[in-house]
């Protein structure tokens, strides 16, 4: 089924109010969940609301907690998220990084002891919509083996870079695993194969069959050894700079996905060096350069990062946001 944006948001908000969120906070969180589904990131939109509610009920997320400033030093601020809602903590941190960048040209906010921020791209799009360049990432519990290993020791540590552009922001939102477990499940249920190998079966053969990877838990890092190494650096940089937990520590907490995680928010004024006209021209030239490539498949289109999200957004605002019947009914029942 397809649900209008306002209907979906109102239902999510109702559920969040019911678990004790204030009006203002429920409004923000409901918007973010609905916007994620609207942009096609269903896994972290409507589909995550029931799990969030479950975490609140288990005491893993404190709906009323707010971030507290631990340390301020130059262009850097460090906050404790106090296990408040990950969306609110991350929105707060990105806004602080924007404010700092106005003063210092660049702003760094580090956040420890927070909870799942849902869709990482949310904070990149936010910054870009406001005219800022942003780099942000989170660490997570382990879900992927390091390169050369069999058992899970690395987080998929989603990483976001965003740039503002009038004709459409350029936003990269990528996890360090080639595919998410959500993608494996969806593909298996459709009885399809992954477009490229996504992991190893239990005998150590690369495979595109999702069920075999779910069984072995040997999901593949993005670019094999490269994504493995990148995940290690994203994890440790986030932990160190926030005085928070690394994946090895999050694995001990065991309070749901990302319970107690560490996050980094870097914001830069993109117009300082060259001005806005230069930025727009450079980005438009780059988009044009890519788009005039010869497509690999006749009639194929080459997209810039964020373009498909914007396309899905437009379509879902017109036609309603796709929702799984069971998921929607569960929300209505909460």
Q: Which helix (H) or strand (E) is 189 found in, with range? A: helix 181-189
The window from 5-13, 26-34, 45-53, 298-306 that contacts its own copies (CB under 8 A) reads 298-306
Strand 321-322 versus strand 2-3 pairing type: antiparallel
Give the span between the Cα atoms of 231 and 209, in whole angstroms.
24
Task: Tell me which DSSP letter residue 297 carries.
Answer: S
By CB under 8 A, residue 273 contacts its own copies: yes
By CB under 8 A, residue 174 contacts its own copies: yes
By CB under 8 A, residue 104 contacts its own copies: yes
Cβ neighbours, 10 Å, residue 226: 12
By CB under 8 A, residue 289 contacts its own copies: yes
Q: Which two tokens stand for residue 298?
A: 């006749």
- Tokens 């029942």 belong to 333
Give the span between the Cα atoms of 22 and 30, in whole angstroms.
12
Range 223-262, binding its own copies (CB under 8 A) = 223-224, 226-227, 229-230, 232-237, 239-243, 246-249
- Give the nearest distance from C-beta 332 to its own copies in angstroms: 36
- Give the nearest distance from C-beta 102 to its own copies in angstroms: 9
By CB under 8 A, residue 110 contacts its own copies: yes
Task: Tell me which DSSP letter residue 198 carries.
Answer: -
Task: Tell me which DSSP letter residue 81 carries.
Answer: -
Which residue, 269 or 330, has its beta carbon nearer to its own copies? Answer: 269
- Give the nearest distance from C-beta 267 to its own copies in angstroms: 11
* Contact track, its own copies, 43-82, x by CB under 8 A: ---------------------------xx-xxxx-x----
Task: Tell me which DSSP letter residue 178 carries.
Answer: S
Range 314-333, binding its own copies (CB under 8 A) = none
Active site residue 44: yes
- Give the nearest distance from C-beta 87 to its own copies in angstroms: 23
By CB under 8 A, residue 167 contacts its own copies: no
By CB under 8 A, residue 108 contacts its own copies: yes
By CB under 8 A, residue 168 contacts its own copies: no
- Backbone torsions φ then ψ of 318, nearest 5 degrees: -75, -45
By CB under 8 A, residue 277 contacts its own copies: no
By CB under 8 A, residue 199 contacts its own copies: no
Cβ atoms of 28 and 87 within 8 Å: the answer is yes
Q: Which two tokens stand for residue 99?
A: 């404010």
Q: How many residues bind its own copies (CB under 8 A)?
A: 83
Of the candidate residues 105, 167, 189, 314, the single one contacting its own copies (CB under 8 A): 105
Give the span between the Cα atoms of 152 and 53, in whole angstroms.
27
Cβ neighbours, 10 Å, residue 233: 12
Of the candidate residues 46, 279, 323, 331, the single one contacting its own copies (CB under 8 A): 279
- Give the nearest distance from C-beta 165 to its own copies in angstroms: 9
Q: Coil, helix or strand for 75?
A: coil
Cβ atoms of 162 and 133 within 8 Å: the answer is yes
Give the span between the Cα atoms of 51 and 120, in whole angstroms.
17
Tell me which of 33, 44, 104, 116 is the catalytic residue.
44
By CB under 8 A, residue 311 contacts its own copies: no
Residues annotated as catalytic (active site), given as ranges: 44
């Amino acid at each position: 089924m397809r649900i209008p944006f306002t209907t979906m948001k109102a239902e999510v908000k109702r559920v969040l109010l019911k678990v004790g969120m204030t009006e203002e906070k429920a409004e923000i969180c409901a918007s973010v969940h609905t916007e994620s589904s609207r942009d096609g990131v269903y896994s972290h939109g409507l589909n995550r609301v029931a799990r969030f509610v479950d975490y609140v009920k288990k005491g893993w997320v404190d709906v009323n907690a707010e971030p507290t400033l631990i340390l301020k030093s130059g262009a850097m601020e460090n906050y404790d998220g106090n296990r408040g809602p990950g969306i609110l903590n991350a929105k707060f941190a990105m806004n602080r990084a924007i404010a700092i960048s106005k003063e210092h040209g660049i702003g760094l906010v580090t956040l420890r002891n927070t909870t799942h921020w849902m869709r990482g791209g949310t904070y990149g799009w936010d910054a870009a919509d406001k005219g800022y360049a942003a780099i942000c990432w989170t660490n997570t519990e382990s879900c992927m083996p390091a390169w050369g290993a069999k058992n899970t020791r690395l987080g998929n540590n989603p990483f976001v870079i965003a740039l503002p552009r009038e004709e459409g922001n350029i936003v990269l939102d990528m996890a360090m695993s080639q595919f998410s477990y959500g993608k494996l499940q969806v593909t298996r249920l459709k009885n399809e194969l992954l477009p490229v190998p996504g992991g190893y079966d239990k005998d150590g053969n690369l495979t595109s069959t999702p069920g075999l990877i779910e069984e072995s838990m040997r999901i593949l890092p993005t670019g094999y050894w490269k994504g493995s190494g990148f995940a290690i650096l994203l994890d440790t940089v986030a932990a160190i700079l926030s005085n928070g937990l690394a994946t090895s520590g999050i694995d001990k907490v065991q309070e749901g996905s990302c319970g107690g995680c560490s996050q980094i928010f870097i914001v830069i004024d993109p117009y300082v060096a060259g001005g806005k006209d230069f930025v727009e021209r450079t980005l438009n030239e780059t988009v044009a350069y890519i788009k005039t490539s010869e497509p690999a498949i006749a009639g194929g289109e080459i997209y810039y990062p964020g373009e498909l999200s914007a396309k899905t957004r437009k379509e879902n605002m017109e036609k309603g946001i796709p929702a799984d019947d069971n998921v929607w009914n569960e929300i209505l029942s909460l």
